């Protein structure tokens, strides 16, 4: 489903050109639960931003579900993020002035789904992550774990092909982290492809496949493995 | 994303910063309000000036301007009667003329007991009273029999009453014009309106005036036409008739009302334009205030912009969101400004005694203009928001 061919990314710092990613080749098939690991500064976040269509590679080709994303313009990339990708961030990234329900509705506003359907689907997603009784709470009235569950509900509400989780447990305690990771495993068992970026081994263990990035290169990649249902 | 959705979003983020939104709007409120007030007062003033020149009730003034030949033939021509009683009778026969208002005036010393003053003494005919809307505050007005018989009765102006009688009742008192006694039968209302100043005036029936001053001349003749579109025809017929009767070529003339009114309109429009553009500058400053606050708002909400972009908002959608926010800000400000302008100009119009002219064009123009201000000054901040890099924005603290 994800096919990266010779992806490079470099930034110019003054006159110097700094290569963050060097010739990355990677394929992830549908239904996989993959953890991308690596120390900070290894380029794993840049890799995730490229997979998430938030950033464009300097060179190379990126196919998502057969579409050549590397040729897309900003507006098309926004559509891909909206329709095909669900994000879960370390800092939750909820809008503070909107209730849990309204936060979960946001991606559907941008895909032009009518209000009634939006409400119904947002409620369904919140019930699924176990927050049926917290729908009208503002984010600052929720615990860290609950905030992350709202973010997960928001990520799945548009039925994306891929969920990208960037250090999703980085701001949570161990016990909450476990329950969040169990939530991801559950979603993966239902068939959602998940790419997880982390530097914690315990978190990466929930994934079926591990890829290690160091100095902009993949230094280790397990064989692709489908979710347990296959 | 629908417009409704965008507007709801804009309203909720404006509500989140109530004080800031209100203060930002204030610039627009004052600007739009000032423009509305200037335009309304300007148009009201223009209407009043025009009506004062055209005169109430379809009237037009005749005047006598002797030609050079006539002056050479008779150097005393200026001291002779411009209009005679016969002229008035002839003019009254013209079908387009409803009535002829005739008056003469002299400046003369007057006396009441031991008080002396100078006053304008008007000799008027009956139509003069209705047409100039001389309202009686005390006593009674001149009657037809007063006009016919030339009784020695007078109406005095409010100012004269205050000067001579203070709070005493002047009705029935006798006042001397020169050394001729007349009886006061009525006091006129205090004049209203911004351009009306009280003066010491006495109104007599024309026949009485003629006896007192020993003159038969009529210095001022105003025609009232049967309808507005007959004014010019009535004037032309009257002029033709008078020139015929006096064997003059075109010494009797009539003022072209339309030209006069146009000229006055021109002057007030230029005045309105000048003051209006000063008010417009305050609106411009208000617009800069909106831009300033929107720029602050965009910076503050960098992370929100990043989140929205990550969730699939296109750059255009982000641009539209902030643009609609600034349009709503200026639109609400504009509507409040129009209400403010309406209230203030109504108050001014009330005290000045002229009509308040807030037309639907002004209201619509005000609304559209404040929206345009929102677009112009919202474009830069909205563009800044839409150009943000989603990755950087998500990291913004």
**A90 in contact with B, Cβ within 8 Å:** no
Q: Which residues of chain A have a CB within 8 Å of the CB of B317?
A: 78, 110
Per the CB < 8 Å rule, is A54 touching B310?
yes
Rounded Cα distance, B86 and B93, in Å = 11
Model confidence at A229, pLDDT cuts 50, 70, 90, reads very low
* A81–chain B Cβ distance below 8 A for any pair: yes
Euclidean distance between CA atoms B15 and B19, whole angstroms: 9
Q: Which of B57, B39, B44, B48 is nearest to B130 (CA)?
A: B57
Interface with chain A: mutation pick from B306, B312, B320, B389, highest number of A CBs within 10 Å: B312
Residues B330, B23: Cα–Cα separation, whole Å: 11
**Residue-averaged pLDDT of chain B:** 86
* Across A31-56, average pLDDT: 91
- Contact (CB, 8 A) for A24 and A70: no
Give the phi and the psi of residue B375 in degrees, each rounded to 5.
-70, -50
Average pLDDT rounded to a whole number, residues A189-214: 92
Question: For B312, which residue in chain A has the nearest alpha carbon?
Answer: A82
User: Sorting pLDDT into bands at 50, 70 and 90, what band is B343?
Assistant: very high
| Cβ contact, residue pair B310, A75, below 8 Å | no
Query: Residues 159..218 of A with a Cβ closer than 8 Å to B: which?
Result: none
Q: What is the mean pLDDT of residues B127-131?
A: 85
Give me the half-sphere count of Cα atoms (radius 13 Å) on the Cβ side of residue B346.
8
Question: For position B195, what pLDDT does the model report?
Answer: 54
Per the structure block, which two tokens stand in for B166? 């203070």
Which of A141-155, B160-174, B176-190, B218-232 is modeled with the greatest confidence?
A141-155
Q: Do B315 and A154 touch (CB under 8 A)?
A: no
Contact residues, chain A, for B313 at CB < 8 Å:
78, 82, 110
Question: What is the pLDDT at residue B303?
Answer: 94
Give tens-digit pLDDT for B177-199.
Answer: 988 999 999 998 887 655 556 78
**What six digits make up the tokens of A167?**
């250090």
Tokens of B58: 């379809």
C-alpha span between B40 and A27 (Å, rounded): 72
Among all residues of chain A, which has the CA nearest to that of B309?
A78
For A202, phi then psi, to 5°, come to -60, -35
Q: Output B83 or A185, whichever has higher pLDDT.
A: A185
Contact between chains at A95 and B304 (C-beta distance less than 8 A): yes
User: Lowest-confidence range among A4-13, A173-182, B182-191, B358-367?
Assistant: B358-367
* Residue among B1, B307, B314 minimizing CB distance to A75: B314
Cα gap B127→B80, rounded to integer Å: 24
Residue B133: what pLDDT? 75
Residue B50's alpha-carbon distances to A10, A16, A96, B58, in angstroms, are: 76, 77, 61, 12
The pLDDT of residue A13: 83
Interface with A, mutate which of B305, B311, B314 (most A CBs under 10 A): B311
Nearest CA distance, B16 vs chain A (angstrom):
8
CB-nearest partner of A107 from B13, B311, B390: B311
Å from A170 to nearest chain B CA?
Answer: 15
For residue A112, give the nearest of B1, B303, B310 by CB distance: B1
ipTM confidence:
0.93
Rounded to an integer, what distance in angstroms lies between the CA atom of residue B44 and that of residue B115? 41
pLDDT surpassing 50 at residue B293: yes
CB hemisphere CA count around B54 (13 angstroms)? 23
Residue B127, pLDDT above cutoff 70:
yes
pLDDT score of B55: 62
Model pLDDT, residue B38:
86
| Residues above pLDDT 90, as percent of chain B | 32
Top pLDDT among B194 and A46 is at A46
Q: Judge contact between B279 and B349, C-beta under 8 A.
A: no
Q: pLDDT by residue (tens digit) across A22-31? A: 999 999 999 9
Two structure tokens written together for B176: 């001397």
What number is the average pLDDT over the span B238-259? Answer: 80
Q: What angle do CA B16, B21, B24 make, to 5 degrees?
A: 160
Do B127 and B101 form a contact (C-beta atoms < 8 A)?
yes
Which residue, among A93, A105, A108, has the nearest Cα to A136 in the 3D structure?
Answer: A105
Give B306→chain A minimum CA distance, Å: 9
CA distance B311 to chain A (A): 5
Instruction: Check pLDDT > 70 for residue A226.
Output: no
Res B251 pLDDT > 90: no
Mean pLDDT of chain A: 91
Q: Which residues of A62-89 are buried (b: 16+ CB within 10 A; e: fewer)?
A: bebeeeebbebeeeebbbbbbebbbbbb
Between helix B231-245 and helix B257-300 the angle, nearest 10°, is: 150
- pLDDT at position B196, please? 58
Q: What is the mean pLDDT of residues B50-79?
A: 74
Residue by residue, DSSP assigns B224-241 as EESSGGGHHHHHHHHHHH
Select the residue from B3, B14, B305, B310 to test the A interface by mutation, using most A Cβ atoms within 10 A: B310
Within an 8 Å CB–CB cutoff, is residue A83 touching chain B?
yes
Chain A CB contacts of B308 under 8 Å are: 106, 110
Q: What integer is the mean pLDDT of B27-37?
A: 91
Q: Which two tokens stand for residue B109?
A: 């010393």
A109 to B1: CB separation less than 8 angstroms, yes or no: yes
pLDDT band at residue B80, thresholds of 50, 70 and 90? low
A87–B contact, CB cutoff 8 A: yes
CA distance to B108, B202, B208, B216, B298, per residue, from B178 (Å): 7, 13, 14, 18, 82
Q: What does the pLDDT look like over B94-125, one tens digit per residue?
A: 888 888 888 888 889 999 988 899 999 999 99
Q: Does A82 touch chain B (CB under 8 A)?
A: yes
List of chain B residues whose C-beta atoms are within 8 Å of the C-beta of residue A74: 314-315
Residue from A110, A163, A165 whose CB has the most chain B CBs within 10 Å, to mutate: A110
Alpha helices, H only, chain A: 44-51, 74-84, 100-110, 115-128, 144-156, 174-189, 201-204
Over residues A220-224, mean pLDDT: 84
Q: Rounded CA gap, A156 and A85, in Å? A: 9
Going by DSSP bridges, is the β-strand pair A162-166/A193-198 parallel, antiparallel, or unpaired?
A: parallel
Contacts of A48 (CB under 8 A, 6+ apart): A36, A164, A166, A195, A197
The whole-angstrom separation of Cα A215 and Cα A41 is 7
Q: How far is B17 from chain A (nearest CA, A)?
A: 11
- The pLDDT value recorded for residue B278 is 86
Between A and B, how many CB-CB pairs are < 8 A? Answer: 61
Which pair of structure tokens corresponds to residue A18? 């700094």
| Number of neighbours of residue B166 by Cβ within 10 angstroms | 8
Give the model's pLDDT for residue B92.
Answer: 87
pTM score of the predicted model: 0.71
Find chain A residues with C-beta within 8 A of B315's C-beta: 74-75, 78
| Residue B139 falls in which region: left (phi positive, over 0), alpha (psi -120 to 50) or beta | left
In degrees rounded to 5, what are phi and psi of residue A213?
-110, 135
Distance from CA of A78 to the nearest CA of B (A): 5
Residue B366 has pLDDT above 90, yes or no: no
pLDDT at residue B56 in the model: 62
A54 in contact with chain B, both atoms CB, cutoff 8 A: yes
Bridging pattern class, strands A33-37 and A193-198 = parallel
- Asked if residues A147 and A129 have their Cβ atoms less than 8 Å apart, the reply is no
pLDDT in tens, A100-157: 999 999 999 999 899 999 999 999 999 999 999 999 999 999 999 999 999 999 999 9
Residues of chain B positioned with their CB less than 8 A from the CB of A112: 1-2
Q: What 3-state class would DSSP assign to B249?
A: coil
Pairing of strands B180-188, B153-156: parallel
Return the closest-CA partner of residue B224 out of B104, B121, B88: B88
């Amino acid at each position: 489903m994800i096919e990266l061919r010779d992806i490079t990314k470099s930034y110019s710092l003054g006159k110097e050109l700094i290569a963050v990613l060097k010739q990355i080749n990677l394929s992830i098939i549908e239904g996989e639960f993959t953890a991308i690991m690596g120390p900070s500064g290894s380029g794993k976040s840049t890799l995730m931003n490229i997979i998430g269509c938030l950033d464009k590679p300097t060179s190379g080709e990126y196919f998502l579900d057969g579409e050549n994303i590397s040729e897309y313009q900003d507006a098309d990339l926004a559509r891909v993020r909206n329709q095909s990708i669900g994000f879960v961030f370390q800092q939750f990234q909820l809008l503070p002035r909107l209730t849990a329900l309204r936060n979960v509705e946001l991606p559907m506003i941008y895909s032009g789904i009518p209000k009634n359907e939006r409400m119904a689907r947002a409620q369904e997603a919140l019930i699924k992550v176990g927050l049926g009784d917290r729908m009208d709470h503002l984010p600052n009235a929720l615990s860290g774990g609950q905030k992350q569950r709202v973010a997960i509900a928001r990520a799945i509400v548009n039925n994306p092909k891929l969920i990208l989780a960037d250090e999703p447990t980085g701001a949570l305690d161990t016990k909450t982290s476990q329950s969040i990771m169990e939530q991801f495993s559950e979603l993966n068992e239902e068939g959602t492809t998940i790419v997880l970026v982390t530097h914690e081994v315990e978190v990466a263990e929930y994934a079926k496949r591990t890829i290690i990035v160091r100095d902009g290169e993949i230094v280790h990649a397990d064989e692709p493995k489908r979710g347990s249902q296959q | 994303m629908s417009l409704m959705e965008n507007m709801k979003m804009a309203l909720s983020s404006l509500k989140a910063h109530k004080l800031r939104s209100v203060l930002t709007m204030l610039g627009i409120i004052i600007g739009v309000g000032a423009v509305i007030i200037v335009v309304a007062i300007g148009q009201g003033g223009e209407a009043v000036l025009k009506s004062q020149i055209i005169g109430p009730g379809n009237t037009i003034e005749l005047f006598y301007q002797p030609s050079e030949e006539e002056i050479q033939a008779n150097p005393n021509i200026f001291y002779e009667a411009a209009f005679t009683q016969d002229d008035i009778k002839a003019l009254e026969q013209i079908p387009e003329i409803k009535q002829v208002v005739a008056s003469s005036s002299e400046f003369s010393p007057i006396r009441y007991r031991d008080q002396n003053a100078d006053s304008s003494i008007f000799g008027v005919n009956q139509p003069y009273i209705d047409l100039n809307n001389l309202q009686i505050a005390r006593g009674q007005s001149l009657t037809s029999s007063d006009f016919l018989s030339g009784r020695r009765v007078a109406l005095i102006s409010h100012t004269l009453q205050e000067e001579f009688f203070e709070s005493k009742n002047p009705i029935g008192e006798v006042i001397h014009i020169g050394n001729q006694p007349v009886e006061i039968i009525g006091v006129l209302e205090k004049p209203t309106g911004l351009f009306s100043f009280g003066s010491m005036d006495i109104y007599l029936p024309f026949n009485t005036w003629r006896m007192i001053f020993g003159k038969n001349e009529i210095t001022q003749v105003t025609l009232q036409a049967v309808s507005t579109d007959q004014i010019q025809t009535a004037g032309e017929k009257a002029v033709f008739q008078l020139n015929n009767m006096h064997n003059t070529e075109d010494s009797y003339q009539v003022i072209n009302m339309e030209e006069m009114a146009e000229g006055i309109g021109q002057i007030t429009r230029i005045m309105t334009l000048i003051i209006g553009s000063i008010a417009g500058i305050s609106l411009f400053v208000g617009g800069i205030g909106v831009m300033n606050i929107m720029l602050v708002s965009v910076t503050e909400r960098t992370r929100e912009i990043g989140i929205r972009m990550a969730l699939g908002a296109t750059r255009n959608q982000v641009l539209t969101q902030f643009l609609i926010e600034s349009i709503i800000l200026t639109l609400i400000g504009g509507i409040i400004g129009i209400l403010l302008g309406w209230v203030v100009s109504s108050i001014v119009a009330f005290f000045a005694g002229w009509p308040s002219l807030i037309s639907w064009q002004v209201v619509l123009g005000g609304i559209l203009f404040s929206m345009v201000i929102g677009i112009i000054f919202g474009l830069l901040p909205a563009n800044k928001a839409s150009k943000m890099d989603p990755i950087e924005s998500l990291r913004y603290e």
